[in-house]
Amino acid sequence: MLISLKEALDYAERNDCGIAAINTPTYEMLLATVRVAERRNVPIIIQHAEVHEPINTIEDIGPVMVELAKRSTAPIVVHVDHGESFDYVRRGFDVGFNSAMIDASRMPYEDNLAVTQQVVALANEYGYGVEAELGVMPGREDGSQSTSSDPEMLYTDPEMAEAFVRDSGVTALACSFGTVHGLYKAEPHLNFELISELRERTGVPIVMHGGSGLSEAEYLECIKRGVRKINYYTYADKAALEAVQQLLEQTPDTYTFSPLTVAATRAVEANIEQLVDVLYRGAAS
Ligand SMILES: [Zn+2]
């Protein structure tokens, strides 16, 4: 069944866990994610990122995501991931998505806030939740962008985050606290105190981007500090590729494509199951 972003995050708060938010630009990723949510009976977020438009457009894969979510026995949010404009978020809502992230974090603070406010106003008409991002430290007075590769320069400023959430009315905030988001190349060094401070000051759940590849202990500590949505994609997609490569090696006489998609789906299921076992541990105990 479809549930709202707020309902999913409330579940996470109550159960001291993190909600897995999986990008599903292919049918294999989508089917695998929904199956795991059903098997484990946990709420999950399926999402489509604007950057994945070349794989499948939101108009093509979106209605399939919405339909699978609606008829599923698991509670599912269908979310626009990294919408880079108001128009992209609206395209998602038009095909039935019930939650969105607007990512204007590369813009100066005032512009990020203005676009986010616009998206929140649209979402409020439907009663949908909105996630925004405040990560790259924007220039303050002069409006210049920081181009530093020092991750600490890109950390979310708690004071700014407090004002941003208050003035935008977002449901959740994606923050930069040391995970690698493809923005900088340095070794991830998670700043756990910063998560606590951001959660405390903003009063909303914190979203982790670039969640692939962290250790179990790191996930659990982030959740303990207030991270409630964990974006995850790369490792599951990599598992699919490895399963396909293995199958081709084992059965070199393979002459059709479809069996590869079955192997890919199974591999993604196994990978996401492992993630779910960690993120929802609080709910099980
Ligand atoms: Zn992201």
- Per-residue pLDDT of 10-24, as tens digits, reads 999 999 999 999 999
pLDDT digits (tens, 9 = 90+) for 165-195: 999 999 999 999 988 754 335 556 899 999 9
| Protein residues placing their CB within 5 Å of the ion ligand 1 | 209
Phi-psi domain of 168 (left: phi exceeds 0; alpha: psi -120 through 50; beta: other): alpha
Res. 150 pLDDT band, cuts 50 70 90: low
pLDDT, residue 152, reads 63
For residues 283 and 196, which has the higher predicted lDDT (pLDDT)? Answer: 196
| pLDDT of 184 | 36
More confident residue, 97 or 283: 97
**Token digits for 201?**
């000051």
Q: What is the CATH number of the domain that holds 272?
A: 3.20.20.70
Task: Please tell me the total count of domains within the chain.
Answer: 1
**Residue 209 CA, ligand 1 centroid: distance in Å:** 4
Can you tell me the distance from the alpha carbon of 160 to that of 146, in angstroms, rounded to the nearest whole number?
Answer: 16
What is the predicted pLDDT for the residue at 79? 98
Is residue 234 annotated as involved in ligand binding?
yes
Could you tell me the pLDDT band of residue 143, with boundaries at 50, 70 and 90? very low
pLDDT of amino acid 282: 80
CB of 86 within 8 A of CB of 118? yes
128 is an annotated ligand-binding site residue: no
> Given CA atoms 77, 82, 85, 91 in this order, what sign does their dihedral have?
negative
The pLDDT mean for the chain works out to 91
Q: What is the pLDDT of residues 226-246, one digit of tens each?
A: 999 999 999 999 999 999 999
Range of the domain at 236: 5-284
Q: How far is the CA of 255 from the centre of ligand 1 (A)?
A: 37
Helices (H), the chain: 5-15, 27-40, 58-71, 86-94, 109-126, 151-154, 158-168, 192-202, 216-225, 234-250, 258-279, 281-284
Catalytic positions:
81
60 marked ligand binding residue: no
